[in-house]
Amino acid sequence: MSRSMRLGALALLVAATLPLPAPAQTTPAANFRERLPQDEVIYFLLPDRFDNGDPSNDRGGLTGDRLKTGYDPTAKGFYHGGDLKGLIRRLGYIQDLGATAIWVGPIFKNKPVQGARGQESAGYHGYWITDFTRVDPHLGSNADFKALVDAAHARGMKVYMDIIANHTADVIQYRECGPGSACPYRSIADYPFQRRGGPAGAAINPGFLGEDVQTPENFARLTDPTYAYTPYVPPAEANIKVPAWLNDVRWYHNRGNTTYYGESATLGDFAGLDDLDTENPRVVQGMIAIFGDWIDRFGVDGFRIDTARHVNPEFWAQFVPAMRDRAKARGIPNFHIFGEVAYESLDVGLLARATIVDKLPAVLDFAFRQAVLEAVTGQQEFGAWDRLVLGDALYAHGFDTAVTLPTFVSNHDAGRLGFYIRKAFPGASDDEVLKREMLANAMLLTWRGVPTIYSGDEQGFAGDGGDQDAREDMFASKVAVYNDDTLIGSDTTTATAHFGEDHPLFKQIAALARLRLSHPALTRGRLVLRARDDKPGLVAVSRFDPASGKEMLLVFNTSAEPLTRQVKVEPGSTAFTTLAGHCAASASAPGSVTVTLGAFDYAVCEAHQ
């Protein structure tokens, strides 16, 4: 049997175990604001890599070669032509997948190209901002963004912006390092604020009491930025940043590259990017004004905050309430704010700390991603599921916060789940890889939190690793290292557009998304760990309808062997309806039900009395 025939047979088998997809969601535009964050299914995309609706803006209005325009559709690190008009025309596709909210990668104007000679790449991803007030011309215009938000809202869909308060593009240079070269971090102890170039240097900034005294009076004394390095802006870029206050080197830390830990985690330059002095009240108020204006003008529904762990907690303590107040004044009562606190581990405490110390309302759930990644690659840590579930109590407000955390299995930085499955099992068949991916999707779409689908996962994209290797085009790609990838569940390649709705992963996600959204137990219900193995095997949890208390049993087999086990349920859960997979019709005895699962299978079972 050919690969395509095997995949087709498997798709039919999987489809038979799934609920039938309902029609596309038709939430009235007048009511979508009422949904809580946990009532959403999020779809995340980078506009440049999604769809090209207007080829005339591919070069962003610039002329010259790719080092001037940033445009080279054959290179993975440059602009490819995707834009907001392309996204608008694919809203129906996203809604058919079951998504109710769109997290749009940063759309602000970026520095087109940066990097040392021979190592240049473009700002296609949106994280090298020069103008915080307008859309990058490669992606369209502010009017296009308004059209996107309005079109999404007309469908009852929310729009979340990806924002950055930690840094701007790399414009500031240091005399001691030279253009384009890496500058190591210089600590406060070795380079104190009141001395130029070290403890023995000339006295500067008299009376400055340090970054911890975050008052206008104290920061008025920090007038000389040459304590660690001698920062300067090349004349050609003297006025490149908008608003104009961002062009003043005094509003940056200027201490060299972060090591990502210790003091440098918040005071160092992230990969050379200009690190804003977010302790300074001038910067705090400036960022509040910038992002509050996007809420005022466009009525967006939430912010995903990039590099949130690299900003001091006091900044977020002022920024978050200000954004929520702006949103409420705009008629947006459930404005969702979630930070990227990137720790690729099961250490829930590091994530929970950001909701307590930093006072972030929610964070991307890296611990969930790690647990699922380990489960489907056969590398589960001892006690992983206990740590994940019990760890919900560590978040500010406990489960009430945990249920709002966006969960995910793939992203544009760490890479796609399919890549790690194939890396762990290089000899696995296509069918096995697809089933492991589907098992992960089932966990994602039924667990507590807000499931977040990374664009391309629903089409079987697997990538070659993280960062640029996981940022494939959804429209027909010209990048050779993308087009030679073997997709999951498909004989196609990324050389053709992928907006069809017949891929087995698309069908599975669409079915599970609609199942989730039709059962409050799966969106808002508390979660109880019923059974787990510390090796490939059974994972079982129950979720409960917040109004009726009705139980929903979720069971997963992460092993390559079938299993039959008894699983604890509520004594009153005596009968079960199969919503996905296969469930026993009735309990074996009060408080116990027989669970039978094939290799990598799962089931969603609704209990009745």
* CA 409 distance to own-chain centroid: 10
Consecutive H or E run containing 386: helix 384-390
Closest CA to 291 of 266, 265, 315: 315
Q: Which of 462, 489, 445, 457 is nearest to 581 (CA)?
A: 445
- The residue annotated as part of the active site, out of 306, 437, 551, 570, is 306
- 264 alpha-carbon distance from chain centroid: 24
**d(Cα 177, Cα 302) in Å, to the nearest integer?**
39
Q: Where are the alpha helices (DSSP H) in 391-503?
A: 399-402, 417-424, 430-446, 480-483
Q: Sign of torsion, CA 116 122 127 131?
A: positive
274 labelled catalytic: no
CB within 8 Å of 189: residues ≥ 6 apart: none
Cβ atoms of 56 and 123 closer than 8 Å: no
Which class for 173: exposed (0-12), middle (13-18), buried (19 or more C-beta within 10 A)? buried
What are the residues whose beta carbons fall under 8 Å from the beta carbon of 242, sequence distance 6 or more?
A: 109, 130, 131, 132, 133, 134
Specify the pairing of strand 158-163 against strand 302-305. Answer: parallel
The C-alpha atoms of residue 345 and residue 305 are separated, in whole angstroms, by: 20
Distance (Å) of CA 281 to CA 83, 130, 354: 35, 21, 21
| Entry field: residues in the chain | 609
Q: Which of 131, 170, 275, 340 is catalytic?
A: 340
Q: What is the C-alpha separation between 592 and 558, in angstroms, rounded?
A: 21
Distance CA 183, CA 171 (A): 14
Q: Residue 340 catalytic?
A: yes
What is the spatial distance between Cα 463 and Cα 485, in angstroms, rounded to a whole number?
7
Q: Which residues contact 248 (CB under 8 A, 6 or more apart)?
A: none
Nearest to 363 by CA among 408, 327, 318: 408
Residue 550 · residue 578 · CB < 8 Å: no
Calculate the alpha carbon distances from 166 to 56, 178, 182, 252, 511 in Å. 32, 23, 19, 10, 38
Please list the residues that pair with 586 across neighbouring strands.
575
Q: Which residues are catalytic?
A: 306, 340
